[in-house]
Amino acid sequence: MWLNLAKVEEHLSTRFVGRRIVYLTSTTSTMDVARQGAEAGAPDGTIVFAEEQTKGRGRFDRAWVSPSGKNLYLTLVIRPPLGRLRSLGIIAPLAVALAVEDSTGLRPRIKWPNDVLIDGRKLSGVLIESEISGSAVQYALVGPGINVNFDIEQSPEIAAIATSIKRELGREVSREELLAAFLNHFEALYEDAPKGDAAFQEWRSRLDTLGREVCVTFGDQLYEGTAEDVDRDGNLILVQPDGSRRIVEAGEVTLRA
Ligand code: BTN
């Protein structure tokens, strides 16, 4: 069944996030459509939502499996000041985790930096892109994909490492309520961000990665060590085998055997 936009609106309590929704039954990637919209002046808080993506993409140029009518694929256009850009990487996965918790009672964890997991399997990932000129952010694109009512066994290539809400609960849930909950949490966290570090602390407390022996890959670089902590910008602090500390801004973490 297609998304019921009136029902999304019924559950929406935001001031600007999600107040304008570009709804598509199929597209290549919501990131591409949102980028075109942002370039053409789409208002702050616009979202591009698609029922299906034919070229859904994840981090590191991976494909994001995007079957029709089952999940949530969206990209939010947001225009933050430069100083708040890094916080999007904290706020977005946290908003997903809180929305899933509200709608289902499940308690997702976060794998640094922004994968949302249930029992170690990936439920959601977020792609964040930005366009900066000089010291001003023209726009940022925040693109979460959330596996909702997806029969994940039908995609054997990801069935061992990914999950969906349906798989976890054994029943379908309302995509409309989940989407509205995500948008409500995102805006509340975004607006509260300048007031303190509550979002950072909440994100940090859900990180599965801390205290573990990890490998972090980024492009052709590989770092190993203990994931000691994260800093306020969301960087990972790694204690390397020689005892030195390395601040890692981005990358993919795997646990060391
Ligand atoms: C990841 O690799 O973990 C990030 C996955 C992001 C997928 C979402 S689905 C909506 C948006 N459009 C895309 O093509 N990708 C993101």
Q: Which atom of ligand 1 is nearest to the CA of 31?
A: 12
pLDDT score recorded for residue 247: 95
Quick one: pLDDT band at residue 203, thresholds 50, 70, 90? Answer: very high
Q: To test the ligand 1 pocket, which listed residue (33, 127, 158) has its Cβ within 8 A of the most ligand atoms?
A: 127
pLDDT tens for residues 124-176? 999 999 999 999 999 999 999 999 999 999 999 999 999 999 999 999 999 99
Q: Exposure of 79 by Cβ count < 10 A (0-12 exposed, 13-18 middle, 19+ buried)?
A: middle
How do the domains of the chain map onto residue ranges? 5-205, 213-255
CATH of region 5-205: 3.30.930.10
pLDDT tens for residues 8-40? 999 999 999 999 999 999 999 999 999 999 999
111-116 long-range contacts (CB < 8 A, ≥24 apart) are 111/207, 111/208, 111/209, 111/253, 112/207, 112/208, 112/209, 112/227, 112/230, 112/236, 112/253, 113/89, 113/234, 113/236, 113/250, 114/89, 116/146
Q: For residue 257, is pLDDT > 80?
A: no
pLDDT score recorded for residue 28: 98
pLDDT score recorded for residue 215: 95
Domain 213-255: which topology? SH3 type barrels. (2.30.30)
pLDDT tens for residues 74-110? 999 999 999 999 999 999 999 999 999 999 999 999 9
Q: Which atom of ligand 1 is nearest to the CA of 50?
A: 10
Q: Do 5-205 and 213-255 show the same overall fold?
A: no
Percent of the chain predicted with pLDDT > 70 = 100
Confirm if 70 and 120 have CB atoms less than 8 A apart: no
Identify the residues whose C-beta falls under 6 Å from ligand 1: 29-31, 53, 56-59, 62, 64, 73-75, 115, 125-127, 143-145
- CB under 8 Å to 171, separation ≥6 — which residues? none
pLDDT tens for residues 205-253? 999 999 999 999 988 899 999 999 999 999 999 999 999 999 999 999 9
